[in-house]
Amino acid sequence: MQALTVLLAEQDSAVASALATSLDEHRHSVRVVRSLDELRLEISRLHAHVVVVDLETVGLAEVTKLRREFRVPVICTHRVPDDELWTAAMEAGAADVCERSNIAALVRALRYARSGFSSAA
């Protein structure tokens, strides 16, 4: 599988570092951003394949806007995602929602999002 360019929007630097390191081990090129403005700029600049956003950093309304404007798959993370949050995120256009500490689920979501992105391109 070709390496993905992944943008990770996460304000908690310890979480961001752990996620980026784990995703790097799965051959993904990861760039951490700390704000929505920086995320928007980097999506265009890097031609990101997938965006991973912590829902405490980027809200659901912004997920919808990102999907419409950039047509990039968005995977949402949260400390404790529940069914209600998952449903709301999916309605906002997210490709998936993962607990941010569950690296295996995040890697699966990246594979899924990338396969959908490839077939749509």
The percentage of the chain sitting over the pLDDT mark of 70, rounded to a whole number, equals 93
Q: What average pLDDT does the chain have?
A: 88
Q: How many domains does the chain have?
A: 1
pLDDT tens digits, 34-74: 999 999 999 999 999 999 999 998 999 999 999 999 999 99
- The CATH number of residue 18's host domain is 3.40.50.2300
> Which domain, by its residues, includes 116?
5-120
CA-CA-CA-CA torsion sign (68, 53, 2, 95):
negative
Both tokens of 19, joined, read: 């996620």
DSSP per residue over 67-113, as a string? HHHH---EEEEESS--HHHHHHHHHTT-SEEEETT-HHHHHHHHHHH
Residue 83 has pLDDT above 50, yes or no: yes
Q: Do 4 and 46 form a contact (C-beta atoms < 8 A)?
A: no
